[in-house]
């Protein structure tokens, strides 16, 4: 017998694929099936091969290669300075991690600031870079002016996740990390969300949006799956930044974060607890992690 087959591998051996016995590769039809039977979608951010494989093995459905990488890995003050090359590099790393572990998660890559703002042709060119790096879907922030771009990308075979509410790339224009869609702004968000869904967006992150508005948006868009972060437990799924849910954000955590390392002795256990809490509806707890208005 070759000694290679029994030798342990140094430098971060990847775990086996998800232990869930029936887990099939996550795809758009499978996400729709989950939605239709009321199963919540569990999403986490991932930026490298090892954590991506661990999250996949823990049963996380979707991995978001977020431009939050700029803040958690590069030490930037906001996501505005993240480049397309950075996103390409991390998307490729996450993809390799999932593939080597024979994983099944759906991989979403963030289009960074300035890479889709000029024209829909610019957006297509840059989205192609992330798709070729292994993404299954790209995410872009904002409504209104992005609708035409979303339609253009979807028509050309690129699945799109929209992002409304607190959109970190425009944090300076929004005046800080604060709740969006209150009062009169709710109507505009509803209009923009419907237009994005009609343009073909099949997923939509809702960040720091009051619970009643997030619930209305979710019900209004049965084929565009809302993924909440600070939007309550009525959305089709949830996302957290991995560093936040592992309790290693040394700054002040926003209200919508729960530290899943508490009571868990390993990263994989913490991620499994996150998946379980999302699926059984115990996270988020609207009284603790969301805004009623």
Q: Which stretch binds ligand KIV (CB under 6 A): 20-28, 65-73, 100-108, 170-178?
A: 65-73
In this complex, which beta carbon is closest to ligand KIV, that of residue 17 or of residue 253? 253
Residue 131 or residue 205: which is nearer to ligand KIV going by CB? Answer: 205
| Active-site annotation holder among 92, 141, 192, 207 | 207
Tell me the closest approach of the beta carbon of residue 70 to ligand KIV, in angstroms: 8
52-60, 63-71, 124-132, 251-259 -> range binding ligand KIV (CB under 6 A):
63-71
C-alpha to C-alpha distances, 93 to 10, 52, 90, 218, 272, nearest whole angstrom: 18, 9, 5, 32, 22
3-state secondary structure of 124: helix
How far is 266 from 255, CA to CA, in rounded Å? 23
Q: Are strands 41-45 and 137-141 parallel, antiparallel or unpaired?
A: unpaired
Under rule CB under 6 A, residue 45 binds ligand KIV: yes
Task: Tell me whether residue 13 or residue 168 sits nearer to ligand KIV (CB atom).
Answer: 168
Is 66 a binding residue for ligand KIV by CB under 6 A? The answer is yes
Which listed residue (41, 84, 239, 278) binds ligand KIV by CB under 6 A?
239
142 contacts ligand KIV (rule: CB under 6 A): no
**Residue closer to ligand KIV (CB basis): 45 or 93:** 45
3 state DSSP class of 45: strand
Tell which residue, 245, 191, 247, has the closest CA to residue 45.
Answer: 245
Among residues 229, 267, 270, 290, the one that binds ligand KIV under rule CB under 6 A: 229
Q: Is 141 tagged catalytic?
A: no
Residue 160: enclosing H or E segment and its boundaries?
A: strand 160-165
Closest CB 283 distance from ligand KIV, rounded Å: 15
Q: Which of residues 188-217 bind ligand KIV (CB under 6 A)?
A: 205, 207
Q: Do the Cβ atoms of 175 and 186 come closer than 8 Å?
A: no
Q: Least distance (Å) from ligand KIV to the CB of residue 147? A: 19
> Least distance (Å) from ligand KIV to the CB of residue 71?
8
Which DSSP string corresponds to 181-244?
Answer: --TTHHHHHHHHHHHHHHTT--EEEEES--HHHHHHHHHH-TTSEEEEESS-TTSSEEEE-HHH
Phi/psi for 238 (5° steps) reads -135, 155
- Does 110 engage in binding with ligand KIV (CB under 6 A)? yes
CB of 270 to ligand KIV, least distance (A): 18
For 205, half-sphere exposure in the C-beta direction (CA atoms, 13 angstrom radius) is 31
Residue ranges in contact with ligand KIV by CB under 6 A: 45, 64, 66-68, 110, 205, 207, 229, 239, 241
Active site residues: 207
């Amino acid at each position: 017998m070759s000694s290679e087959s029994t030798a342990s591998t140094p430098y971060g051996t990847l775990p086996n694929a998800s232990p869930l016995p029936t887990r099939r590769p996550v795809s758009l039809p499978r996400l729709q099936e989950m939605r239709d039977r009321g199963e919540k979608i569990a999403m986490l951010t991932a930026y490298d091969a090892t954590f991506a494989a661990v999250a996949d093995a823990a049963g996380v459905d979707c991995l978001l290669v977020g431009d939050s990488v700029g803040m958690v890995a590069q030490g930037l003050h906001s996501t505005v300075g993240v480049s397309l090359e950075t996103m390409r590099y991390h998307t490729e790393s996450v993809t390799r991690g999932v593939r080597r572990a024979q994983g099944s998660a759906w991989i979403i890559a963030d289009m960074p600031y300035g890479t889709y703002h000029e024209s829909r042709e610019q957006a297509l060119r840059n989205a192609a870079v992330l798709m070729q790096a292994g993404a299954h879907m790209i995410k872009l922030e904002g409504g209104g002016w992005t609708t035409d771009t979303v339609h253009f990308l979807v028509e050309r075979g690129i699945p799109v996740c929209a992002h409304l509410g607190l959109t970190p790339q425009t944090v300076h224009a929004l005046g800080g990390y604060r709740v969006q869609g209150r009062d009169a702004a709710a109507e505009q968000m509803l209009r923009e969300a419907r237009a994005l869904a009609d343009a073909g967006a099949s997923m939509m992150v809702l960040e720091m949006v009051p619970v009643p508005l997030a619930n209305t948006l979710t019900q209004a868009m049965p084929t565009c799956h809302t993924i909440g972060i600070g939007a309550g437990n009525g959305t089709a799924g949830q996302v957290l930044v991995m560093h936040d849910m592992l309790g290693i954000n040394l700054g002040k955590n926003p209200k919508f974060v729960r530290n899943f390392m508490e009571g868990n002795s390993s990263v994989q256990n913490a991620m499994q607890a996150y998946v379980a809490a999302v699926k059984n509806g115990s996270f988020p707890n609207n009284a603790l992690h969301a805004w009623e208005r």
